[in-house]
Every structure is written in C-alpha cells, then in structure tokens.
Structure 1
Amino acid sequence: MIVYPCQSLCGLNGLHLRILDCGHASSAREWVGNVVSPSYSRLYYICGGDPYFTTAEGRTVEMKAGCCYFLPAGFSFDHACRTQMEQLYFHIQLIDDTGLDLFRGCSEMMVDTPGEERIRRMIELAASKQPDDALRLRQELYATILTMLERSGVHLSRTDYARCILDAVAYIRKNLSVQLTVKQLADHAHVSESTLEKAFRAELGMTVGRYVDEEIFLAAERQLKQTKLSIAQISERFGFCDQFYFSRRFRARYGLSPQQYRKRYPF
C-alpha cells in the first residue's frame, strides 16, 4: 500500500472560524451606528427592509434582501436603515495557528447572493440547539465565504510573522490586561521595545498598545453579551483601576456605556 500524506493537514488543523457573536435581528430606525476599525469581520445576511452602510470614503451601499455582505476587520463604516431591517448577522475571525486573523488581509467588502429562502433556512438552523444543525450552519458560512473569495479574486495567505510578534501575541492572550507594558512583552519575546514596536507597525499595521486594547475590548464585549458578570467584575478581570475608568474607555470606543451595551445585547 502506498500512502500519500495530505500536504494541507497542518492547514486543516491550524485554521479555525471563530464565531464571536451571531443573531437574528429585526429593527426600525434605531439600527444606526458607527464602526471604526473593528477587530473582527462581519457577515450580514439581509432578510428584508432597507438597511445601508456608508464607507469611510463616503460611498453608500444599499443592502438588499437575499444578499450577504462581508465587511472585513479594519473596515470602518456607518450603518442605518431608512424604515426597517431584518438580518442574520455573524461577527467572525479566521484564526490560524499563530493566533492571528487571516481576514485582516482582506481590505474590501464582498457580496454573495444566497437568496431569501436559503437565508430563512439559516435562521432556522441558528435557532436550533442540535449539534448537527450547528454543523450545517457552519458549513453554510464556509460556503458563503468561499464563494465571496472566489468571485472577488481574493486569495487568503498566511504571513510569516516575526518570531517576536508570535511570542508577544501568545503572551498577550494568556495575560490579557491593560496593565501589560511594551517592556514586559519585549522581555518575554527577547527583543528590545523598539524592535517589537517596529515589528507590530510593519507587520500588523498597529502599535503594541492598540493590539492589546483591541483584544481587551473584544473580550470585554463577549463578557457583556455572554455572561452575567457585573461591570466591576469585568473591569477587574482586565486590570482596569476601577469600573468608572473602564466605562469611560468603553464609551469612547463604542459610543455606549457598558450598561447600555448590555441592554442592547441582552444575555
């Protein structure tokens, strides 16, 4: 017997579609907001209504029923609807074995046309508690993403990040706190502070501090949406000096206090 090993085995085991949040939402004109350089990508499956978004460059895109829109990490936009909207949404990251998001390599929005019937079926799957339905829904997400990539001519690729970045990212995720300093991370990665900062700017397009902030507030979002921890407990968990400072930082980032954010996305 001759066995030819699967050359993509590492890639298969090293890729994970992380679903940070999802939901079936319907709204009137209160669906309005501003998203600035988000740390995750969004999939909007539109069921009905007249939602739209406006890019940072001023281009307005009407979101049509039966279509799905992919807005990548780092893509800033305003969103609203003229009268009402209904959608199935997902907040996602495609994490490789380095712990970094491959979707950060996408710079433009992408569109697919699954159709209203298929989207309604996905809503049914999302409401189910059965494991096989969860697998079917994940399969639909992969199909949507692959179709979009193929139509847009986008090819995802892994970046050979500097060793110091990989070491720093792993340390950040294990010790997530606003108390982390560049010096701590540089010492852990066995490089100078300036070398680490230059590597983050060159390869991730952001400072070390901004990367830490993005990871902290992404985790804080999940705590607010998915747990019953108090604001004080969440604040303490991420090393803020008090819940009031955490609330100020959160409001500056999302335009809502943690309490308001939690009410909008109830547990």
Structure 2
Amino acid sequence: MRTVRYDNQTVSQIEYLEFIIRNLNIEILVHGRTRLSSDWLHDDITSPFHRLYFILGGEGLVYNSKESLPLLPGGIYFIPAHSTWSYRCEDSMDQFFVHFKVTLMEGVDVFEDCSRALKLDWPENRIRTSISSLEQKDLSGIVNFKSLLFEIISNLIVISAVDMIPRIHQIQKYKELFQYINCNISGELKVTEIVEAMKKSHSALYKSLKADTGFSIKNYIDKKLLDTSREHLLLTDSSIKEIADQLGFRDQYYFSRFFRKHSGLPPSAYRSRNRM
C-alpha cells in the first residue's frame, strides 16, 4: 500500500485522504439547471470560485490557449478557480452547474495550485437521482447531493495530484493568523492590528510567513478581499457602493481603486466581462 509522510509519521494514502476529507469544507455558492443554446458564448472568463458542470444532454466546449475539453453527456467537468477559459455551445446543452469553494481547515483552497480542467466519468443514474432530489429542495436531497460532491472532490484530489501535506503544515503553523484574518476580513483591516492580536513582532512574523508560504500578511489580506469582491460582483446584483460597504471599505472610490490595482479592471468592467 502506498504511504505518505504527514506530521513526521508514515501513514497510508487512505489515512491521509481520510484526514483531508474529514477537514474539508464545501461551500456551494450557487447551483441550478439550465438548457443552453448557441448564445452560450463567453471568452476568457476568470472566476474566483470553482465550477462543476454535469452534462445531461447535448454538447459544449471549454478551452484556452493550452487545452480544449469537450463537454459531453454523462460527464462531470471541473473548472478550477483563477484559471481563464472560454465557453461554447454550438447547438444545445442540458447542464446542471455548481459554483463552489472547497477549503481545508482555515479557509485554504484545496485546488489553489490546480489550473487544469478535469473530467470525471460517473454513473449517470446516480447523477440524475442526486440532481432530481436536490431540485425537490428538501433536507434529504441536499444531504444526498452534498455526499455526491464529497465523493467527486475526493476523486478530483487524487487525479489532480494535489499535494496537501505542505499546505497542512502551513495551516497548522499559522492557524491563529489565518483564522483571525478570515474572521475579520475588511477593507480597513490593518497588518498592525493582526500582529498585535497575534502578540508577535511584525518582522519575525513577516519573515517566517514569507519563508514558509511565499506571501506576506498584506498579500494574504489583499487576496482574500479580492476573491470576496469578485464573488459579490459575479454572484449578486449589489451595486459597487453596496459591495464596498459590505466589505468595510471607507467608500466606493477606495474600493474601486483597490480592485483595479489588484485585478487590472474596474469592478463594473470585471463584472461585465466575467459574468455568465
């Protein structure tokens, strides 16, 4: 049996995967069934969340400059966050979609290093039964579908060859830091406030975090804020001012400057370009 090193111990791959699954948090942002036609035509879309497409009929295509992946009936397709893809449907397609986040313990994205679109083959009757029960909008249907998602994600972890061991060590070492930032994220959150809460010197924490992860506290704050901003822009109809208020920016102009600096586009242009 294959083994891996975790926490200075040799454990079986099954035990390692069980640990990951026990600590996974799946957040479904939006889901639904849609019947698409040739007007499903979107170029160079980048999203802050992962996408799953369950193809129930018809055909489509996702592609970028590196690869092309046909969307065929009976397949489950995973499109990772922060990667850029174009979407096509030549005729028609019956699709169930899920936009979601999957994190390990303190909000760290499991598929952060994955940029490839992936396909899973799954029993079609299981897919249709789970979707049908979810559409009933009762508790058992939600539980059934979330169970299916856990199975799908555990398979994606294996086939994408995501190595979670370094990330698990980082999360455990900086658990309090990540937890504080995730719970207090806002446009007004300062590094000095975080350092004081951690009761550590700024220089020591900066050097340690940078050496272990490659990013600084400010980098982590900005990334969390940017991802949350993108989610609001793509998944809600809130105005720019409302989003700025919800995320704790002093005003919408400060929010717009922040967003443009880190994404290269004004918030309204990002929404228009990437909303599907």
TM-score, L = length of structure 1: 0.72
Regions of 4+ moved over 6 Å: 7-12, 225-228, 253-256
Task: Give the Å deviation of 1:193.
Answer: 4.0
Structure 1 residues 66, 11: closer, same or farther in 2, change over 3 A?
closer
Q: Distance between the aligned counterparts of 1:211 and 1:241, measured in 2?
A: 20
Tell me if 1:176 matches 2:176. no
Counterpart among 15, 40, 48 of residue 24 in structure 2: 15
Tell me if 1:78 matches 2:81. no
Task: Give the Å deviation of 1:98.
Answer: 3.0
Structure 1 residues 46, 193: closer, same or farther in 2, change over 3 A?
farther
Aligned residue number for residue 189 of structure 1: 198
Task: Give the Å deviation of 1:134.
Answer: 0.4
Q: Distance between the aligned counterparts of 2:237 and 2:151, measured in 1?
A: 34
Aligned residue number for residue 222 of structure 2: 213
Give the aligned CA root-mean-square deviation in angstroms. 3.9
In structure 2, stretches of 5+ residues that fail to align are 1-14
Aligned residue number for residue 70 of structure 2: 62
Structure 1 residues 237, 147: closer, same or farther in 2, change over 3 A?
closer
Structure 1 residues 31, 125: closer, same or farther in 2, change over 3 A?
farther
TM-score, L = length of structure 2: 0.70
- Partner-residue secondary structure (3-state), 1:104: coil
Q: Distance between the aligned counterparts of 1:23 and 1:199, measured in 2?
A: 43
The 5-angstrom pairing of residues 29-68 of structure 1 reads 29-36=39-46, 39-55=48-64, 58-68=66-76
Alpha-carbon contact 2:40-2:89 (below 8 Å) kept: no
The 5-angstrom pairing of residues 90-169 of structure 1 reads 90-104=98-112, 106=114, 108-114=116-122, 116-151=124-159, 156-157=164-165, 159-161=168-170, 165-169=174-178
- Partner-residue secondary structure (3-state), 1:94: strand
Q: Distance between the aligned counterparts of 1:229 and 1:39, measured in 2?
A: 17
Alpha-carbon contact 1:236-1:242 (below 8 Å) kept: yes
Amino acid at match of 2:222: D
Task: Give the Å deviation of 1:114.
Answer: 2.0
Q: Distance between the aligned counterparts of 2:89 and 2:174, measured in 1?
A: 44
Percent identity between the aligned chains?
26
Structure 1 residues 196, 147: closer, same or farther in 2, change over 3 A?
same
Deviations 1:183-235 (A, max 9, x none): 33333334444544455555445443443233234434555677776543331
Deviations 1:51-110 (A, max 9, x none): 32334x522222222211223344x12221042544222233333333323333545443
Q: Distance between the aligned counterparts of 2:200 and 2:265, measured in 1?
A: 34
Aligned residue number for residue 234 of structure 1: 243
- Partner-residue secondary structure (3-state), 1:180: coil
Alpha-carbon contact 2:53-2:96 (below 8 Å) kept: yes
Structure 1 residues 188, 180: closer, same or farther in 2, change over 3 A?
same
In structure 1, stretches of 5+ residues that fail to align are 1-6
Between Structure 1 and Structure 2, which shows a larger proportion of strand residues? 2
Amino acid at match of 2:134: A
Task: Give the Å deviation of 1:32.
Answer: 0.9
Task: Give the Å deviation of 1:112.
Answer: 0.5
Amino acid at match of 1:42: R
Q: Report how many residues are paired.
A: 255
Structure 1 residues 96, 230: closer, same or farther in 2, change over 3 A?
same
